[in-house]
Amino acid sequence: MQNLEKNSVILVIGYVWPEPKSSAAGSHMLSLLRLFKKQNWTVVFSTPAQKTEHMINLADEDIESVEILLNDSSFDKFVSELNPDLVLFDRFMMEEQFGWRVEQACPNAMRILDTEDLQCLRGARQHAHKNNRTMAKEDLFSDLAKREIAAILRSDLSLIISDFEMELLSETFKVDRELIHHLPFMLDTRQDTPSSKSFSERKNFVTIGNFRHAPNWDSVLFLQEIWPLIRKEIPEAELHIFGSYPPKKATALNNTKTGFLVKGWAEDAFEVLANARVCLAPLRFGAGIKGKLIDSMVVGTPSVTTAIGAEGMTGHFSWPGIVANTPQEIAQAAIRLYQNEEQWVDSQTTAKDILASRYNGDILGESLLNRITKIQENLDQHRKNNFTGAMLRHHTMKSTQFMSRWIETKTQLKQLSDKH
């Protein structure tokens, strides 16, 4: 494989500062940054977001971090001077904001969109859930989808975390497969697996997830319906609920009498998952693949989740636990898995096979680098083949650019007015 030159510069434009201990998106971003660093590339991470208490110190990874501004031409000077060989946009909103600026300042830089998960799919499912019905195809064709698919088409390559979403883009939205690349979580299989306690050494149930992520908060509310059914059959059991940024409405649900315990931030997600016998993830909407369920597989904790939770994660393998959807089905599945050691051990074995087959970071990383190299070697032709993308970059389609220019001008005029 022919890599980029060792002195190549990679600019990442983040939606937020990476928080690998708070979210799967943060872990996924960190794995990409580390992959680029392993190629001896210079990696610069930039974002307009405010710094947070759980953000990783990128200096420890030998990655420069730069704060940038929205709707401000100072970015044009910054990116022009940096002159990156490749720019990675973290979610489509960053491509909307900065893609046209990158194209103008550095037209030869390859532009990659990391979707994390399809926002339009999650939004369509959330809308259907709020209306107490199953998602229809028409729900997908929203304004959000038009923006997200446009960003994918404007990019040279988009990273798609779920094979379900690969099919959705290809079959429903008719996106050319030359523009998308399947990239699930890249795990370091060379590291020792966190110690896995036996069935008898574990007790209680666990769920974990960033409370700011709507599907996670909804699943906690759903667990309020499910937990009494479990507790009735296993009265000594507790449900430990972990997650970063718990709001007061979440901590108010803590109830020691019923064993519904809201713990909040977990310093080590692997540790809290490894101590539990079963992970519960009753997700009623969402997209992508779920970091909590991957982490559960890593530490050998079987899980009970919904069809949406399991989507796009296992390929031809069975689920390492049980998939169920109604409160009664989920409760019965959780009770059965909690009490049946044979089924529990079988689920652990299945998890190991899934991780080895589908989440090997070395294999996935090499595949991505090969794809990048192939496109870079024929970047002009690759872009010519994507006429729809070229059309979307035509000046008649650049509403986001002109809106940004208008906001910047309005801000400058206000500043001048305030001075006088």
Task: Among 358, 393, 408, give the residue marking a domain's end.
Answer: 358
**Number of structural domains, the chain?**
2
Q: How confident is the model at residue 246 (pLDDT cuts 50, 70, 90)?
A: very high
Specify if 228 maps to a domain: yes
Say if residue 283 is in the same domain as residue 349: yes
Q: Which structural domain, as residue segments, surrounds residue 22?
A: 9-186+361-419
99 lies in the same domain as 244: no
Which whole number is the average pLDDT over 386-400? 84
Percent above pLDDT 70 for the chain: 97
Strands of 260-264's sheet in order across: 260-264, 239-242, 205-208, 278-281, 303-305, 321-323
Question: Rounded CA gap, 93 and 404, in Å?
Answer: 13
Is 200 part of any domain?
no
- Nearest Cα residue to 322 out of 332, 244, 313: 332
The amino acid that residue 161 corresponds to is I
Would you say residue 4 lies in a domain?
no
In which band, very low, low, confident or very high, does the pLDDT at 3 lie, cut at 50, 70 and 90? very low
pLDDT for residue 192 is more than 60: no
Percent of the chain with pLDDT over 90: 86
Which CA distances in Å does 395 have to 77, 110, 145, 293, 329? 21, 20, 21, 44, 53
Instruction: Answer yes or no: do 137 and 278 share one domain.
Output: no
- The answer to whether residue 2 is domain-embedded is no
Q: Examine the fold and report which residue of 342, 358, 374 is the final residue of a domain before the chain moves on.
A: 358
Average pLDDT, the chain: 94
E-state strands within 243-323: 260-264, 278-281, 303-305, 321-323
- Whole-number pLDDT of residue 191: 67
pLDDT band at 401 (very low <50, low <70, confident <90, very high): confident
- Residue 317 confidence (pLDDT) above 80: yes
Q: Which of 358, 393, 411 is the last residue of a domain?
A: 358
Residues 6+ away with beta carbon under 8 Å from 264: 242, 243, 244, 246, 251
CA distances from 283 to 111, 170, 213, 289 (A): 33, 25, 11, 11
- The reported pLDDT for the residue numbered 404 is 83
pLDDT at 409: 84
The mean pLDDT of 291-317, rounded to a whole number, is 96
CB 259 within 8 A of CB 280: no
Q: Which of 134, 187, 178, 229 is nearest to 389 (CA)?
A: 178
pLDDT at 120: 97
In this structure, are strands 64-67 and 86-90 parallel, antiparallel, or unpaired? Answer: unpaired
Residue 2 has pLDDT above 70, yes or no: no
pLDDT in tens, 215-242: 999 999 999 999 999 999 999 999 999 9
Q: Are 154 and 392 in contact (CB under 8 A)?
A: yes
pLDDT band at 29 (very low <50, low <70, confident <90, very high): very high
338 and 401 within one domain:
no
Look up residue 342 and give its two tokens: 């044979």
Do 227 and 109 have their domain in common? Answer: no
Q: Domain with 64 in it: what CATH number?
A: 3.40.50.2000
- Give the residue-averaged pLDDT of 173-190: 94
